């Protein structure tokens, strides 16, 4: 592949990746607006219906694109890996690691060393308005969207070679991008989000099956 073709391909992949992020943000925004109208049942029902249609369409589009990526080029042999006692125990250890990171984070916030992230404040406020709907979105739907985008599509677009250096870079860069998606400032909050993102990226890279990183993400969002 010559230089011009390579740059064109990567530019298109960046645009597609940003487009998938935009789809997710639109879906999330409409869902949040529906939650804001919870005291107006008619408007809430219409908006919730619209958001469910967008969720189904968004997941179908992103899932289809991810599947097509794997069909076209899958050097890591990403696919369905049967759950075993070893894999489940490894997943639990990763969850414990993520929990320890968040415990340290909460301790720093409690000691007023760090402030509560604006993203977490928004999540808490949304859960206060409508706990059931927002826990459903944050606990189940958001992990599927985010793992498909930040792990599956991102790594397959930009870090698709299966070698040690490339895989390490994939974990670190994917974690950093995940951090920026939750905290735009380059600070300790971004580092904490990035560490969580790296744990999820490692799970995807280690298990070679996106269902494991989705499960880990769901556990991280739901159990605490």
Tell me the domain boundaries of the chain.
3-222
Of 122, 99, 98, 112, the closest CA to residue 188 belongs to 112
Q: What is the pLDDT along the chain (224 residues), one digit of tens a residue?
A: 577 888 888 899 999 999 999 999 999 888 888 777 767 777 778 888 888 899 999 999 999 999 999 999 999 999 999 999 999 999 999 999 999 999 998 898 888 887 887 777 766 666 676 777 778 888 999 999 999 999 999 999 999 889 999 999 999 999 999 999 988 888 888 999 999 999 999 999 999 999 999 999 999 998 76
Structure tokens at 142: 């958001």
Of 22, 195, 222, the closest CA to residue 139 belongs to 222
User: Residue 98 contacts by C-beta under 8 Å, 6 or more apart in sequence?
Assistant: 196, 199, 216, 220
């Amino acid at each position: 592949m010559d230089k011009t073709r390579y740059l064109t391909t990567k530019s298109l992949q960046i645009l597609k990746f940003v487009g998938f992020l935009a789809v997710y943000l639109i879906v999330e925004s409409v869902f949040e607006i529906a939650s804001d109208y919870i005291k107006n049942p008619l408007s809430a029902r219409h908006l919730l219906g619209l958001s469910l249609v967008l969720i189904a369409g968004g997941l179908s589009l992103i899932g289809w694109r991810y599947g097509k990526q794997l069909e076209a080029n899958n050097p890591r042999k990403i696919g369905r890996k049967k759950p075993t006692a070893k894999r489940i125990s490894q997943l639990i250890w990763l969850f414990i690691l993520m929990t320890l990171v968040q415990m340290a984070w909460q301790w720093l916030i409690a000691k007023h060393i760090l402030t509560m992230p604006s993203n977490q404040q928004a999540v808490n406020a949304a859960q206060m308005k409508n706990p059931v709907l927002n826990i459903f979105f944050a606990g189940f739907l958001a992990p599927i969207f985010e793992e498909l985008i930040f792990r599956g599509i991102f790594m397959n677009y930009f870090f698709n070679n299966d070698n040690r250096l490339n895989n390490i870079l994939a974990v670190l860069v994917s974690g950093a991008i995940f951090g920026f998606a939750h905290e735009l400032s380059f600070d300790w909050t971004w580092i904490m989000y990035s560490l969580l993102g790296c744990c999820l990226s490692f799970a995807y890279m280690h298990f070679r099956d996106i269902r494991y990183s989705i499960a880990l993400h769901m556990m991280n969002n739901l159990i605490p």
